[in-house]
Amino acid sequence: MSTLPRLDYLTTGLPNAEAYEVWKGVVGALFEPHPFHPTQRLPTGSASGVVVGDMIVARVVFTAQCFRRDRALIERTPDHFLFHLYNVGGFNGRISGHETTIWSAQVALIDLRLEVNTHAASSDTISLIVPRSLLPGIGEAGLPPRLEPARNRLLAAHLAALREGSAHLEEADVPEVVARTQEVLTTLLDPSRPIDRLETPALDRSLLALAEQAIRANLASPDLSPEWLATELGISRASLYRLFAPYGGIMRSVQERRLLAVRAALSDPLETRLLSRLAADFGFQSEAHFSRSFRAQFGSTASEFRAGQVKSARESEPTSLDVLNWWWERLGSRSA
């Protein structure tokens, strides 16, 4: 099996001027990064992502800065949509033809054929970049800067799951993942679809998607239980049990979600937390219980898995900016 091309650009520890040059190269096809005012240090950031067919999904962290995309940049760079989930931070400014404010847990919908001018706080985000050709008809009548809360929750849940699973995708998985993402986006971005009629196979039914989003957002909470989840979703416990019956039950799903979240974190080059902190942050009551559960689920200890990821990262060459630029050109040619 073949793993997917990675795009890792880490600037932590580099001198400010050098980190800025790397960062500017990473985001150069999207935006021009600028400090808020000339007396500030140069803006920087890091990105760790995967190319999934004609899409790119990445975790992106950056310092406070301005992002600008003017007509000259639009005319010389590829035509895409950027779906940008802010886990931490946010911004205010102009995207997709609208003045807006985006904050934590919201997804910014950015049509890159239009100018961008934003002031962003230090942020930790998930970015999904999709060529316009994959979403025919989307944005022709204008794209809102963000979705209504119910649709936003579903889109945020999909982006988080896509990022979490991307580190372990194989080439054989790509067609299904791309098709599912296309269906999710076209469904959620269709304003003619009432929120109570958003059930599609790709969304795994809106109620289940919302349940998984609620679980993912509350993995460390001691209140995470069938009773709490039923109340959060506004359904009976019996309905909740039926919803999760095909997946082995609610708490088994919660346990698997916790383990997958830890494994995804250990696969992330931007992740620096100790194993004990990760275990606690994802809801394990003891490190011993976490260690047993991780080994039973994945066949190795968490320490062994992290060591393997570190060894692989050290042995691989940093991604050249030429590779990223080649992907921009390839994706852009397909949306022409």
Residue 217, in any domain of the structure: yes
> Is residue 305 one of the residues assigned to a domain?
no
For 94, residues 6+ apart whose C-beta sits below 8 A from its C-beta are: 100, 115, 116, 117, 118
- Do 13 and 147 reside in the same domain of the chain? yes
> Is 67 contained in some domain?
yes
185 has pLDDT over 90: yes
Domain of residue 278 covers: 204-299
By three-state DSSP, how is residue 293 classified?
helix
Do 118 and 251 share a structural domain? no
- The span from the CA of 122 to the CA of 286, in Å, is 32
| Mean pLDDT, residues 23-38 taken together | 91
Residues 159 and 83 grouped into a single domain: yes
Q: What is the pTM of this model?
A: 0.78
Kindly state whether residues 13 and 69 are assigned to the same domain.
yes
pLDDT number for residue 202:
52
> Which CATH number belongs to the domain containing residue 209 in this structure?
1.10.10.60
Residues 182 and 105 occupy one common structural domain: yes
Q: Are residues 183 and 210 in the same domain?
A: no
DSSP 8-state code for residue 167: T
Which 3 state secondary structure label does DSSP give 4? Answer: coil
> Is the confidence at residue 63, as pLDDT, over 90?
yes
The verdict on 183 and 222 lying in the same domain is no
The 10s digit of each residue's pLDDT in 132-177 is: 989 988 878 889 999 998 889 888 888 988 888 887 888 999 999 9
pLDDT confidence tier of residue 79, bands split at 50, 70 and 90: confident
Q: Is residue 224 part of a domain?
A: yes
The answer on 108 and 1 residing in a single domain is yes
The verdict on residue 318 lying in a domain is no
pLDDT at residue number 109: 97
- Classify 198 as helix, strand or coil: coil
Looking at residue 138, its pLDDT comes to 87
> What average pLDDT is seen over the chain?
85
pLDDT in tens, 94-136: 999 999 999 998 999 999 999 999 999 999 999 999 999 899 8
Q: Mark whether 210 and 186 lie in a shared domain.
A: no
Of the ranges 108-112, 228-232, 246-250, 319-323, which one carries the lowest mean pLDDT score? 319-323
Q: Are residues 223 and 148 in the same domain?
A: no
What's the CATH code of the domain at 17?
A: 2.60.120.10
Q: How confident is the model at residue 27 (pLDDT cuts 50, 70, 90)?
A: very high
How many domains does the structure of the chain reveal?
2
| pLDDT of amino acid 336 | 39
Q: 180 is written with which tokens?
A: 């599912």
Which residue has 């791309």 as its token pair? 178
Confidence label for 217 from pLDDT (cuts 50, 70 and 90): confident
Radius of gyration (C-alpha) of the chain in whole angstroms: 20
Mark whether 100 and 172 lie in a shared domain. Answer: yes
Evaluate whether residue 165 is within a structural domain.
Answer: yes
How many CB atoms sit inside 10 A of residue 40's CB? 12
Q: Are 180 and 231 members of one domain? A: no
Higher pLDDT, 80 or 323: 80
Residue 307 lies in a domain: no
pLDDT band at 319 (very low <50, low <70, confident <90, very high): low
Q: What pLDDT does 334 receive?
A: 40
Q: What is the percent of the chain with per-residue pLDDT over 90, rounded to a whole number? A: 37
CA-angle at 158, arms to 157 and 160, nearest 5°: 65
The burial of 15, by beta-carbon neighbours within 10 Å (0-12 exposed, 13-18 middle, 19 or more buried), is given as exposed
Structural domain contains residue 63: yes
Take residue 312 and report the two structure tokens written for it: 């692989």
